[in-house]
Amino acid sequence: MLRTPRPASLLANARRAWRQSLQLRVITITLASSGALVLTFGLVVGGLITNGLVNAKTGSELQVVRDGSASASAQLGLIIFNDPQLNSRVDSVLKSPSVVGRDQEVTLALLPDPSNTRLDDLEHIGLPDELTGAVHDMGFAQQRTYLDLGPGTGGRKLYLVFGRELDQAYLGKVQLFYLYPLDDVVQQADLVSNTIAITGVALVLMLGLVVFFVTRLVVSPVRVAARTAQRLSNGLLDQRMEVTGEDDLAALAASFNQMAENLQRHILRLEDMSRLQRRFTSDVSHELRTPLTTVRMAADLIFNTREDLDPVVARSAELLQTELDRFEGLLAELLEISRFDAGFAALDAEPANLGPLVERAVDRLRSVAERAGVEVEVDVPADPVVAEVDVRRVERILRNLIGNAIEHSEGRPVLVRLAAREGAAAVTVRDHGVGLKPGEEKLVFNRFWRADPSRARQTGGTGLGLSISAEDARLHGGWLEAWGAPGQGAQFRLTVPARAGDRLVSSPLRLVPTDFRPPVDAEPEPWSASAAPADEFDRLDPHRPASRPPAPRARDTAERPSSPGKSGKTARSGGAAARALRAARSTVADRGEPPVAVEPGDVDA
């Protein structure tokens, strides 16, 4: 059974069509304005024509009324008020040709004046009191009014009424009325109104049709340009517009085609350069593995016999071993980056409990934390947090984030927190180091970027950790985000869907930590995506650029993560704290990518 569309849905469809169609808006506005103009014109012209017809009727009959009323006054002067034939004599006077005049459709009526009590027996028709009162006051009056003169008169009609007061010697004061029917005037006025209405409707429809075709001529090329631009944005770089004629639209199409051709040429050149760069990185990485293996074997041999060598040579063997470790790590990460660039990276997702992954990542960096004198706190829920992830990649992300936090914590505690909610799991790594300068939260995911290249390194990173972590997060369909503030440390957040392939809509943990306190005396800074409250920012569509929600309040009290279960595990790590990210606010992604695309990387990367 067919359902009748609801008014709300019809209104929504109409609004959508109004917003999306330029042609519809132009046609509607043209029809509305032209319709209003034609309506105003019809009312004004119809009124003027009707008034002209009535005035012509009034002017032609006014002299007849004057002459007839004078003749009637002379004849009525011969009748006495107590004449037994009063009504018949009055009737004969009112039918006299000299009184009636040329118009045989006129109706005459004689009424006693309201002050006349002599003619109570005189038969007369009922007329409005306002009319008889006006005649009594002014002696003469005219008026257009609707009257029903009784059976045989055609019912209620419009009449042009003339009234004149006559002062008779015997009858006293009487009022003589001429009632002219305006049927012919009404018919002519109706004819004029109908003609104007039909002509106006036809004119509006014709104007709408003309506007439709004119706007179609203009809008169609624009729509073609929009479709072509859409195809170009989808990667179909060979799409072009058809150039017809030599007018402005043809010039627009030609300019558009020239722009598309230039874009295609530049994009292809950039693709070739990028392909060569990726090929070079991949080839160099692979080609270096063979000589590096030989060098590694020789270095291991020298390193294992360093006790028998001269102290200077032994120290050189140790330095060689350390730098070879760094070089092998850099080479491995370059190979990983080349796989991401080539699109060969694959996700090997399986259900895994994230709690042990977090604890294992902290345990592996325990010695580093002890050397740096940093206390690492772990906050893990008592219940298992299960998500479909690639364990190897998630562990790599966590090692990068925790290692960077230790490196930049300036000897202060580091907090690692895990939580799950609404089909998503999240891990935050919070340090209380120098923090990030404004804008640096967008740079930490760049390859080989470091917050302060002059700072000493404790973990010996290669500068690619956060870039690789970002790619790993994107491969999971997750978010990797950063926040920081000068002097208040930084926080990185990894959010992954509980089921592989699901789309994230929110994160269980806040990106801006609850202990963040903006400087009271500082001037307000421009809003950053990282500064949005969790209940506003964290629920943004990750595939849509962040809008500008209100800046966070100084004491934002968003809901804290679930209570710690296996929390309280701490590890001491060592080394002087390294470079701190100096601050700004958190970020979702650079280059217009959603939070999923914002990839944290080594701070020292």
DSSP secondary structure code for residue 213 in this structure: H
Tokens linked to 464: 């690619």
Number of Cβ within 10 Å of residue 257's Cβ equals 17
Q: Which residue has the tokens 């962040």?
A: 546
In this predicted structure, which of 430-439, 518-527, 562-571 has the lowest mean pLDDT?
A: 562-571
Query: Mean pLDDT in the chain?
Result: 76
Residue 85: pLDDT band (50, 70, 90) is low
Residue 521: pLDDT band (50, 70, 90) is low
Residue 82: pLDDT band (50, 70, 90) is low
User: What is the Cα–Cα distance from 279 to 304, expressed in whole angstroms?
Assistant: 37
- CB neighbour burial string for 4-43, b if at least 16 within 10 angstroms, e if fewer: eeeeeeeeeeeeeeeeeeebbebbeebbeebbeebeeebe
Quick: pLDDT tens for 561-605: 333 333 333 333 333 333 332 333 333 333 333 333 333 333 333
Q: Which of the two residues, 316 and 115, has the higher pLDDT score?
A: 316
Three-class DSSP category at 497: strand
Q: What confidence score (pLDDT) does residue 595 get? A: 38
For residues 600 and 492, is the Cβ–Cβ distance under 8 A?
yes
**Cα-based distances in Å from 198 to 191, 192, 194, 508:** 11, 10, 6, 67
User: What is the Cα–Cα distance from 140 to 152, expressed in whole angstroms?
Assistant: 28
Mean pLDDT on 234-242: 82
Q: Is the pLDDT of residue 131 over 90?
A: no
Q: Which amino acid is at 431?
A: D
Mean pLDDT on 360-378: 90
Tokens linked to 235: 């990667």
Quick: pLDDT tens for 28-53: 888 889 889 888 988 898 888 888 88
Q: Which of the two residues, 89 and 383, has the higher pLDDT score?
A: 383
**What pTM does this model have?**
0.46
Domains of the chain: 248-340 (1.10.287.130), 349-517+526-597 (3.30.565.10)
Whole-number percent of the chain with pLDDT over 70: 77
| DSSP code string of 253-268 | HHHHHHHHHHHHHHHH
Q: What confidence score (pLDDT) does residue 557 get? A: 31
Number of Cβ within 10 Å of residue 506's Cβ equals 17
User: What is the Cα–Cα distance from 177 to 165, expressed in whole angstroms?
Assistant: 9
User: What is the Cα–Cα distance from 539 to 159, expressed in whole angstroms?
Assistant: 75
For residues 446 and 463, is the Cβ–Cβ distance under 8 A?
no
